[in-house]
Structure 1
Amino acid sequence: MRPFVKAFAGICSGAVIVAACAMAASAPRASAATLTQVTDFGPNPGNLQMYSYVPASAPAHPAIVLALHPCGGSGPQFYSGSEFAGLADRYGFVVVYPSATHMYNCFDSWSAQAKVRGGGSDPVSLMSMVTYAERAYHGDPDRVYVTGSSGGAMETNIMLGDYPDVFKAGAAFMGVPFGCFVDASDYIPSPGASNCASGRINKTPQQWGDLARAGDPGYTGPRPRVQLWHGTADNLVYYAELQQEIDQWTNVFGLGRTPTSTDTPQSGWTRWRFADSAGKVDVEAYSIAGAGHVLPSTGMAGYAIHFFGLDSGTPPPTTTTPGAPAACRVTDAISSWSGGMTENITISNTGSAAITGWSLAFTLPAGQAITSGWSAAYSPTSGQVTATNLGYNATIPAGGSTSIGFQASQTGDTAAPAGFTLNGAACATG
């Protein structure tokens, strides 16, 4: 498992004053299939380092992907340890790999300067790199994207809030919401010590959304689409952060917290999509059953690039969920009182093969909202809910069962959930 400091990273938020940078017409172009360091890319208040990768397949005006490493890492390490360069070779986009140089090699996502457009610090440095790539590599300013892991994911959310007019979409692997760190005092490199990274900062979706909107307070234009990833067993940047990020970005887009669709594109993955009235998916979230602080793992970068639209419309490969039940049965027991209730759910595998990695989807009656749960990770807390296995109960043997449960508030309707499906297969009840 990575050191805890890799759970943190600063979000880039700089002023687009980079337009004032003097970029020489003879700016060096990264050799095809070679990672190249750029030493003079414009204003650099964060004292960052810039590395760029321009594949041989790059067209005249390529898209640009800003790829941000986790704390404790570097641009060259993220280049060699992730799949983005290989995808760039296949699809012809440029990748910029910055390196942070301070605070455990984390990008600044905690300071007041980082949380506002043009505030200074690392964000301005990162925007300088984007502008450099647009000029030196003739990058398409209408196709600029940002992604990152852990601390780099935290910085990804910052960039999307500070520069909504620059980035068309972003993908954050194991991040926290924009503005989650109050200041550097909560940026503590120890498991469970940070109020932000441990999910102890409670805000309403409106409050989370207001923090992101404050990154560029005068902005009223279209927002970059957001893809979010988290493992259910992450004990460095807690799994609760995924719901907080969902709350933030769905609020920014004016969307409800109930997904418009839920599916399982890979074994152990649950994908929630939040679309507008026209069907455009503005927010997409992935819950990875049993995964710790290890994302992105193999294949996930391809889903990010597909979300960005950089793969020529070719979707990533989808696998059939191993162990998908031929039949399943759900039984429940409810205890209620004025304003509250508990529900214990037993999931039985009545098929002939073991289920390895499961997600149980169901719809809560109106007025019910989960306040706490056990033996599974629940998201969202009302409407169409998905309960995802934890590490210790990921396998349900043929003929076996597992029990989960939750406590909920209610406004009068204490009926059981409806529409139980296990890994996409409908379950019998009773």
Structure 2
Amino acid sequence: MLFQALSTVLLAATGAFAAQGQLQQVTNFGSNPTGVEMFVYKPAKLASPPPLIIAMHYCTGTAQAYFSGTQYANLADTHGYIVIYPDAPDPGGCWDVHTNATLTHNAGGDSLAIASMVRYAIQNYGVDATRVFATGTSSGAMMTNVLMGAYPDLFQAGSAFSGVPYGCFEGPDMWNSQCATGELIKTPQQWGDLVRSGYPGYTGARPKFQFWHGTADTTLYPQNFWEDIKQWTNVFGVSQTPVTNTTNDPLPGYSRASFGPNVQAILAQGVGHTVPEQANDVLNWFGIANLTPGSGPAPPTSVPPSSVPPSSSSTVAPPPSSTGAAHWDQCGGIGWTGATTCASPFTCQVINAYYSQCL
């Protein structure tokens, strides 16, 4: 069921991005209880020391497909970082994001194999341990959430495209319909406690987290976006009210909400499953967009990537429709000036104080 539900995404139909080199498989990289495969892209010229990005494919995908279907490798040629593309052992190409082992620090599952890859790269490639990042799409986005919770000691930031909160798929089966359809609702405290349970007793810094979701996602419903906000604002102890909320950022119809320097949520109006990867934006979030081969770390910054000034931060709505807003469109919320009724047979349902949607 998971294979079928997530097979509609996908990047295989997109054009390949031409990196200068090829993937190299690495074996015997450390503890790997589930048989995850490790593929590495090392550009000819590296930053000194090089950062590391873990880039994780979607269900039905492979390391090779994510390598050729996203820009992380060819941008590595420009910026000098290393990319590891793990390959999921599941026959359907999905990641284990549901077992207690994978959700717990050093306990097993696919996440332990990926953590082993990070440790291997730090030891063998001279990777800068203070600049290790994770990103992924769909199932890979779910694993990005898992890594942020179970291995906060290894990662400095993550960016997830069309995933679900940490622990949302927890259970005996690979597929969790309650979570997928947005029916698993928890309080911020409950979601935050799940993240904290990933590494009991951990008191160090947490990786900052950015997540993307489409309002027309019928595979992993948009409610997961709002649950993600509850979870990660609680982890960082900040308000669920955005500090800034910019529109048409980074693309028309996208809205970027920043909850301080550590949590950023991008909602893509009318976009289904999945939100297309925005690699340059991700590199901005990771703080390595200006990196060049041979260069060292740039001075830290807490300014979120945004082309829209704070004065444009109020929500901008499309003109009202005489027939009502369409299915999945916004229909209300603080600052909303567009249509507040929905075209039949849909009704305007409150998601939170800032967003109501025609469902």
- TM-score, L = length of structure 1: 0.67
Match of 1:311 in 2: 289
Q: How does 1:29-178 map to 2 (within 5 A)?
A: 33-178=21-166
Match of 1:205 in 2: 188
Match of 1:179 in 2: 167
In the TM superposition, what whole-angstrom CA distance separates every residue of 1:25-63 from its partner, at most 9, and x where no partner exists? Answer: xxxxxx972211112211211201100111123123100
1:329 and 1:200 map into 2 onto residues whose CA distance is 29
User: For 1:223, which of 198, 201, 206 is the aligned residue?
Assistant: 206
- Verify the 8 A CA contact 1:270 1:359 in the aligned structure 2: no
1:377 and 1:148 map into 2 onto residues whose CA distance is 30
Structure 1 or 2, whichever has the larger Rg, is 1
Question: Identity over aligned residues, as a percent?
Answer: 38
1:195 aligns with 2:166: no
2:224 and 2:155 map into 1 onto residues whose CA distance is 22
1:301 aligns with 2:290: no
1:328 and 1:96 map into 2 onto residues whose CA distance is 40
Report runs of 4+ in structure 1 exceeding 4 Å deviation. 313-320, 327-330, 357-361, 374-379
- Verify the 8 A CA contact 2:256 2:266 in the aligned structure 1: yes
- Verify the 8 A CA contact 1:64 1:95 in the aligned structure 2: yes
1:5 and 1:172 map into 2 onto residues whose CA distance is 16
- Verify the 8 A CA contact 1:5 1:72 in the aligned structure 2: yes
Q: Cα distance 1:359–1:172, how it changes in 2: closer, same or farther (>3 A)?
A: farther
Q: Number of aligned pairs? A: 314
Deviation of 1:184 (Å): 3.0
Match of 1:270 in 2: 255
Q: How does 1:324-343 map to 2 (within 5 A)?
A: none
SS at match of 1:221: coil
2:305 and 2:259 map into 1 onto residues whose CA distance is 20
Code of the aligned partner of 2:229 = I
- Verify the 8 A CA contact 1:231 1:288 in the aligned structure 2: yes
- Verify the 8 A CA contact 1:55 1:92 in the aligned structure 2: yes
In the TM superposition, what whole-angstrom CA distance separates every residue of 1:375-394 from its partner, at most 9, and x where no partner exists? Answer: 67866x12xx2557x7xxxx
Code of the aligned partner of 1:199 = G
2:227 and 2:105 map into 1 onto residues whose CA distance is 22
Q: Cα distance 1:329–1:128, how it changes in 2: closer, same or farther (>3 A)?
A: closer
Deviation of 1:186 (Å): 6.2
Q: CA RMSD in A?
A: 3.1
SS at match of 2:106: coil
Deviation of 1:287 (Å): 0.5
Structure 2 alignment gaps of length 5 or more:
10-18, 292-297, 299-303, 310-315, 323-328, 337-345
- Verify the 8 A CA contact 2:213 2:267 in the aligned structure 1: yes
In the TM superposition, what whole-angstrom CA distance separates every residue of 1:201-224 from its partner, at most 9, and x where no partner exists? Answer: 111111011001100120112111
In the TM superposition, what whole-angstrom CA distance separates every residue of 1:340-374 from its partner, at most 9, and x where no partner exists? Answer: xxxxxx579xxxxxxxx98977359xxxxxxxxx6
- Verify the 8 A CA contact 2:330 2:355 in the aligned structure 1: no
Structure 1 alignment gaps of length 5 or more:
9-30, 189-193, 276-280, 321-326, 331-345, 349-356, 365-373, 391-405, 407-430
- Verify the 8 A CA contact 2:331 2:348 in the aligned structure 1: no
